[in-house]
Structure 1
Amino acid sequence: MQVVSISSLKGGVGKTSVTLGLASAAMAAGIRTLVVDLDPHADATTGLGVSAANKPGIGEMLKAARRTRLADNVVPSGWVANDRRSADPNPGRRPVLDVAMGSAYSGIYDRPDLGRRDLRRLATLLSGVSGYGLVLIDCPPSLNGLTRMAWTASNQVLLVAEPALFSVAGTERTMRALELFRKEFAPNLATAGVIANRVRSTSGEHTFRLAEMKQMFGSLLLSPIVADQANWQQIQGAAHSVHHWPGESARQAAGTFDALLKNVVDTGSNHVRRAG
């Protein structure tokens, strides 16, 4: 089971949008996927069309990690109902995209002084699930306890940045923090790469910063870049996957996330082989 944390030190760079785009690509590819919404704002849960008041959120599950079965408390994404294969009489062919719902309660763990026992809470929860090929963890935009808890549970960390000064600088700091964390807590944790998000080809600043990112991050800067999309807010507001949204711009965005997902999955497979 490949577990990928989607992280960013700076808020507002589209980290959750990237998580949703990769989840959409995974569903389209038929990869059984679980999205863990670790951000207390729970935007990924909303964007995935989930509403299940009778199930605990991830915060409540973390509190009772040793007594809680994560598999009993995940809920299907609302996107699955929009996939034509969901009406197929053969359930083995239906797409699987489940969600561990976000919860404001998880904020109690988003502090800088978590001990090793608390850092393993999410790993303990994930150890009780099976049947997924991919787990995507949407982290909060910080390097506090929840992000480090996600890194402890992950095989890979995927960083998201905009081609802007503060975002690029924040990504460089995140990579340094990740290296320190790897040495102390998670020697097998790999960097999946850096995704350049919301890139405007007509912006001279974006062109300059993108060239800077290529120089700074080298092969870690993943291809293709994610272009700025005017109707992205509309797609998320309707709680639809980009692969099910009409129009040429959505089709191109879907293709971008298909290619990025393949890069992430291939990188993870290579890392697992080397670690083995």
Structure 2
Amino acid sequence: MTPDLDRAIRAAKAAGDLLLDHWQQRETLVIDQKRPGDFVSAADRGAEMLLREALIRYGDGWLGEETEAIDAPRRWIVDPLDGTTNFLRGIGQWAVSVALEQNGRRVLGVVHDPLRSETFAAARGMGATLNGQPLRLPPCPPAGGALWGTGLPFGGMAHIDDHADDLRRILPRSAGIRRLGAAALDLCYVAAGRLDGFWERSLRPWDIAAGLVICAEAGIRTEGWTPEDRPEESGNVIAARPELFQDFAGTIRA
């Protein structure tokens, strides 16, 4: 394990402990609405400040959901609470997401799920792990037996009609679709074989930075809406195990 990865894991777990304290008292949290369907609370802000103080060192940059960005060749990309709406509603699907980017390339990712005590982690060239054990994909499901994950637009966002078309094409050829509400965990679930693939449009960098590194190191193929489209830049993500990617991506892009 690299020193940076160790530091990221420690910081993500510390932020997770803070969030668990808020989880027990979430009914008292003051909630602000950034835009329709998009919320923030003292839990998000407190976790981000903890992560910022723990991670920024010696001129590092920063890109977080709730605080001012700092440009630098070496930059931390952080979502302090991915799945805020789930958290605030008492739905136990949320996580802390931390990634490190160096000269435009994401080199490590950590996604920590405090409620399940699960920590997904990866560094480029070193593989992906869950709680320190290597991730291994289970056998590929039979044709028509794949389980997909996605995220649905909310609050007047664009692409509602596009996503309805996606569902119409994919549902008849699958074992089902899950909308779990935390993209960082969705990508980790693909890396762990709990989902066979995931797609979503217009995600933000902090939603996917860590999950994309973990997927890559677990052998998951990821692209955008064309093979040349980089999800890191566009926020459009199609991810699936290699045996299923071509057919899955072709269906999404049809």
Task: Write 1 or 2 for the structure with the bigger share of strand.
Answer: 2
Fold in common (TM above 0.5)? no
Higher RCO, 1 vs 2 (CA within 8 Å, ≥6 residues apart): 1
Q: What is the TM-score when the length of structure 2 is the normalising length? A: 0.28
Task: Write 1 or 2 for the structure with the bigger share of helix.
Answer: 1
